């Protein structure tokens, strides 16, 4: 750390990736590091997967788009004002709808939106534009997992019975998949298994 710079304090936040909601202590160090799991977070108890522990690496500005750019007729990208960029998108969107109909456009929304955000996006697409072509990553991303789960375990989801102190009595999971895709949950499963083992 530079002597001229004040010490940076950690910010308590939540990992933005999957739906576990792991607690993170983010301390920007200028080198893409400084992320630790929050030990008192009930979601992860200080553990982070590879994505969560590398959050700092996503904050570099070198290759990040910091202002709106529009490709001009020469094929090069030109910086434009936010108002001009938004107007351009709105006009092109309207043009496509007028030329090809409402079914020619779609929204593919983030899985990280709030309920109110989903409501507004659905109202805009279905109520105003007149198209049902709206979906979210939170559904499409998990569709293959749900299909596999239904084929393996039947349409009824496997119930998770909870004992004392968040200890599951029954887990239904394919362990290699859990270890790879849900490392924080997998670590909790292994911890519970080891603490329940005799002697």
pLDDT tens by residue, 163-192: 444 455 455 554 456 666 677 777 777 777
Flag whether the pTM goes above 0.85.
no
In percent, the amount of the chain with pLDDT more than 70 equals 69
Q: Identify which has the larger pLDDT, 167 or 109.
A: 109
Question: What integer pLDDT is reported at residue 180 of this predicted model?
Answer: 66
When pLDDT is averaged across residues 47-52 and rounded to a whole number, the result is 82
When pLDDT is averaged across residues 17-37 and rounded to a whole number, the result is 74
Contact 14, 24 (CB under 8 A): yes
Does 67 have pLDDT greater than 50? yes
Question: What integer pLDDT is reported at residue 57 of this predicted model?
Answer: 76
- Cα-trace Rg, the chain: 23
When pLDDT is averaged across residues 130-147 and rounded to a whole number, the result is 78
Distance CA 128, CA 48 (A): 42
Question: What integer pLDDT is reported at residue 4 of this predicted model?
Answer: 45
Q: Identify which has the larger pLDDT, 11 or 58.
A: 11
Distance CA 77, CA 88 (A): 14
- Give the E-state strand segments of 72-191 in sequence order: 77-79, 107-109, 134-136
When pLDDT is averaged across residues 20-39 and rounded to a whole number, the result is 75
When pLDDT is averaged across residues 2-12 and rounded to a whole number, the result is 62
When pLDDT is averaged across residues 23-37 and rounded to a whole number, the result is 73
pLDDT tens for residues 110-122?
A: 877 788 998 999 9
Contact 42, 14 (CB under 8 A): no
Does 21 have pLDDT greater than 90? no
Question: What integer pLDDT is reported at residue 38 of this predicted model?
Answer: 83
When pLDDT is averaged across residues 125-149 and rounded to a whole number, the result is 81
């Amino acid at each position: 750390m530079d002597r001229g710079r004040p010490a940076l304090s950690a910010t308590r936040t939540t990992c933005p990736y999957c739906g576990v909601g792991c607690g993170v202590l983010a301390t920007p160090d200028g080198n893409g590091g400084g992320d630790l799991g929050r030990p008192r977070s009930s979601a992860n108890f200080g553990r982070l997967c590879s994505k969560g522990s590398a959050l700092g690496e996503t904050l570099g500005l070198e290759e990040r788009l910091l202002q709106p750019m529009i490709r001009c007729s020469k094929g090069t990208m030109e910086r434009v004002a936010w108002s001009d960029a938004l107007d351009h998108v709105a006009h092109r969107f309207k043009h496509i709808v007028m030329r090809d109909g409402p079914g020619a456009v779609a929204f593919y929304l983030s899985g990280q939106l709030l309920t109110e955000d989903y409501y507004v996006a659905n109202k805009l697409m279905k109520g105003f534009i007149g198209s049902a072509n709206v979906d979210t990553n939170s559904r499409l991303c998990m569709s293959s997992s749900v299909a596999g789960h239904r084929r393996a375990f039947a349409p009824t989801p496997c119930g998770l019975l909870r004992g004392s102190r968040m200890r599951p009595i029954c887990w239904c999971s394919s362990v290699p998949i859990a270890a790879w895709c849900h490392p924080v949950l997998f670590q909790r499963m292994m911890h519970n298994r080891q603490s329940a083992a005799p002697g």
